[in-house]
Structure 1
Amino acid sequence: MQEQTARLGLPYILPSQAQKHVSHNEGLDALDMMVQLVLEDVGDAPPPAPADGACYGVATAPTAGWGGMAGRVAQWRDGGWHFLQPKAGWLAWCVLQQRLHVHDGIGWQPFTQIGNLPALGINAAPDETNRLSLSAPASLFSHQGSDHRLKINKAGPGDTASLIFQSAWNGLAEMGLAGNDSFAIKVADGSGGWRTALGIEPSGHVATPHRPAARAWLSSPTMAPATGSLTGFTDTEFSTGGFMLGAPVPGDSGNRLVAPASALYLMCLSVVPTSQNPFQVQVAVNGTTPVLGTGLQSGAPIGRKICACGIVSIARDEWIALQHQGSATLEFGFNSTELSIVALT
């Protein structure tokens, strides 16, 4: 008959055994050490004043009263040390380190993982798509000695690796590699689609396809605008970022050019006179506020283009037209009297 249990090595009470209480108490002491195991610390040196019943994990190079007992559980009891050999897989809570430890069959190791998890929720429920789910006021990813990189990997060029920002579970902004290998920052356009605000090609070229910009002119015969009158625009070579022609300007000479966003704009005004009479052409915001102009010109050479450029602050939905002074005849149209404008911010 075996004298110990097969798994935990607890002593059996044998038939006709004298002083059976000794074996019984040895078994109770062993159970007291191993059940709901709590280690005060894991180390090589015995503590100077252990409490009665306190258990410790013996590390790999034990000294003094723990010599030769690497990997054991050491319990101070009845004025001396008693040892127990754990088996692989035993778990113990270490009070000093505030960390769970697992015995690997040789020694005590800090518990670091529980295998390959199919899903993990931290204060939130994961699902088949969101296999890692976290609900918290903030998340922290920090270095362990020097650098720290967050890596998002996709399978191929046509796939997506991105960060998406939502409100009420609706996507409002996205940044990353969305369907190609060009980095992009996109925003929701309010109709269920997306617009690329900034794109960076693998070559390093940076594009802002929705930056407000336009080149506009009035398709009209050569004319001499009256002093104080306004002329607008009827055509654009291009218009991006929401630039559009609005209502007619007062006097019905073309339409207003409406700013799609509040920004600093670079403007370039060109004017081509066809007579040498005095003139002055200004860019006027809302038809009343001059922001850029040619200055007073008198006797300018006929057909020579006069240009003025500058940076102007314009608010969203404000409109732009040309304001005239003098009596000169001007040539309007593409590459003649026209306005180019692009947002800088």
Structure 2
Amino acid sequence: MSDSTTNLLLPYLMAAQAQKHVTHNEALRLLDGLVQLSVKSRGLSAPPASPADGDRYIVASGATGGWAGWHLNVALWTDGTWLRLPPREGWRAWVEDEELLLVRNGADWQPVIPTTLDDLTRLGIGMAASAGSPFSAKLNSALWTALYAADGGSGDLTQTLNRETDGDDAGLILQTDFSTRALMGMFGSDQLRIAVSPNGLVFRDALGVDPATGIADQPNLPRFKAYTNYDNYVGVDTWTTLGINTAEYNDQGCFDAGTNRFVAPVTGTYLFGASLLYKINASSNARMRARLVLNGSTEIRGSFGEISSAHVSEATALWLQTMVPLDAGDTVALQGAFRAADGYFAADHTTFWGTKIG
């Protein structure tokens, strides 16, 4: 028959044993040291100078002095002496100076919450992961922070998304209730692309960057260039909306050739310009004037111009340019007028253009 218990090696009271209280008290000391095990530290390899009764330590490597040979054992200071407690598989110990819970695993103590996870096939946080989404997280916020230099890092933080070939995808997909609303990344090519969708089915590219040149393109930016294909006659002192009726370029359909005006598809800041070529009617003394008007009647500040010297037919030109904030649905039109004598704004060379810039 063994003289101690199997797991904690507590001494048994033997039959006809003298001074049973000694054995009993030894067992109590062992229980007091092991139950709810909490150690002061696991970083000392030699006993501290002034331990308090009941202090416990996990002895560090290279143990010396009164702890010589006690590597990774539990040392208990009790009744004025150090007691060695050899650990068993599965023992748990709270390390007070690290606020860390350890478990005895084989020949070592390891954190109950592992610090290294390798080669997992699935990980779910707040939800079950699936074969299609082997890493899944359901939460309201997430934080990635650099490992600072003071903590042994570089202070940098980078994230890499790698794909197999340039025909594959690497990017961010932003969704509403699992319906895609925006894409940002490289999708099927090396071009950096930002695209949006109102329904997850039809996508419009908002930005593309050519990988060979670095040139950015906004393929759906509201912008146009248009001209008149006939000579526009305008009388004296009469502001007239010019018949800019032919669009050379008309992204987003923002220019209405039927009404000779630009219609803002969205609220923003726009840049407009115009070039007007004079064509004589009866007198070269005509004074050519031009302006841009908002919503049919309001002159846009900074857009007015006039040439007051004598004109040369089909050679004298007037240029306008200005910037204006618009609300969605606002219109901008080009108007011309003459002073002193009437005349024409020449076909093909009288142009109007604009683009959204902000």
Q: TM range, normalised to the smaller chain?
A: 0.7 to 0.9
CA RMSD in angstroms, aligned pairs only: 3.4
SS at match of 2:66: helix
Are residues 1:231 and 2:248 paired?
no
- Gap change, CA 1:241 and 1:75, over 3 Å in 2: farther
Residue 139 (structure 1) aligned with residue 143 (structure 2) = yes
AA partner of residue 306 (structure 1): A
Q: Is the 8 A contact 2:275 2:351 kept in 1?
A: yes
> Please, what TM-score do these two structures have when normalized by structure 1?
0.80
Shift of 1:104: 5.8
- Would you say the 8 A contact 2:94–2:102 is kept in 1? yes
Deviation at 1:97, TM superposition (A): 0.8
Provide the residue aligned with 2:202 in structure 1: 193
- CA pair 51-148 structure 1, distance change in 2 beyond 3 A: same
Q: Structure 1 residues 311-320 or 33-42, which shifts more?
A: 33-42
Corresponding residue for residue 71 of structure 1: 72
Amino acid at match of 2:136: L
Which deviates more from structure 2 when the two are superposed, residues 24-33 or residues 158-167? Answer: 24-33
2:324 aligned with 1:313, yes or no?
A: yes
Judged with a 3 Å threshold, the aligned counterparts in structure 2 of structure 1 residues 322 and 303 are, in CA distance, closer, same or farther, namely same
Measured after TM superposition, the shift of residue 79 of structure 1 is 2.5
Q: Which moved more, 1:135-144 or 1:29-38?
A: 29-38
Q: 1:114 to 1:18 in 2, by over 3 A?
A: farther
Q: State the shift of 1:187 in Å.
A: 2.3
For residue 9 of structure 2, what is the aligned residue in structure 1? 10
Q: Which residue of 2 aligns with 1:245?
A: 256
State the Cα deviation string for residues 194-251 of structure 1 (Å, max 9, x = none): 22222222222222212221111233x32312412212533211122452417x5xxx
Whether 2:58 is the aligned partner of 1:43: answer: no
- Corresponding residue for 1:101? 102
* 1:151 to 1:26, Cα distance in 2 relative to 1, 3 A: farther
Moved more, 195-204 or 286-295: 286-295
Contact 1:209 1:241 in 2 (8 A): no
TM-score (norm. length: structure 2)? 0.78
- Residue in 1 aligned with 2:354? 341
State the Cα distance separating 1:13 from its structure 2 match. 5.5
2-structure distance, mates of 1:2, 1:160: 68
How many angstroms apart in 2 are the aligned matches of 1:17 and 1:306? 126
The whole-number CA distance in structure 2 between the counterparts of 1:4 and 1:155 is 63
Give the match for residue 207 of structure 1.
Answer: 217
Q: Deviations over 1:106-147 (max 9, x none)?
A: 55455413554444344x213311623141344242324221
> Residue in 1 aligned with 2:268?
263
Structure-2 residue corresponding to 1:162: 171
Structure 2 residues not aligned, in runs of 5+: none
Q: Which residue matches 2:278? A: 273
User: Could you tell me the percent identity over the aligned residues?
Assistant: 29
| Contact 1:294 1:306 survives alignment (8 Å) | no
The 5-angstrom pairing of residues 165-176 of structure 1 reads 165-176=174-185
Amino acid paired to 1:340 = W
Gaps of 5+ in 1: 249-253
Structure 2 counterpart of 1:301, one-letter code: V
1:11: how far off? 6.4
Q: Which residue, out of 292, 295, 308, partners 2:306?
A: 295
Distance 1:74 1:15, change over 3 A: closer
Q: Does the 8 Å CA contact 2:224/2:248 hold for their aligned counterparts?
A: yes
Partner AA of 2:61 in structure 1? T
* Offset, 1:88: 6.3
C-alpha contact 1:232 1:321 (8 A) present in aligned 2 = no
1:251 counterpart residue number: none
8 Å contact 1:183–1:200 — kept in the other structure?
yes
Aligned residue-pair number: 334
Check whether the contact 2:10–2:30 (CA below 8 A) recurs between aligned residues.
no
Amino acid at match of 1:186: A
Alignment partners' CA distance in 2, 1:266 and 1:182 = 28
Q: Which secondary structure state, in structure 1, belongs to the residue aligned with residue 296 of structure 2? A: coil
Secondary structure class of the residue paired with 1:46: coil
Q: Which of 333, 347, 352 matches 1:332?
A: 347
CA contact (8 A) 2:273 2:322 kept: no
CA displacement 1:11-51 (0-9 Å, x = unmatched): 68699795696777766655655555332321214345545
1:64-90 deviation digits (Å, cap 9, x = unpaired): 433332211112223322112335665
Cα 1:305–1:341 shift into 2, 3 Å: farther
Alpha-carbon distance, 1:9 to partner:
7.2
The C-alpha deviation readout for 1:282-337, integer Å capped at 9, x for no partner, is 2222222333244234532211262424331131321111112112112233xx11
Q: Secondary structure at the match of 1:149?
A: coil
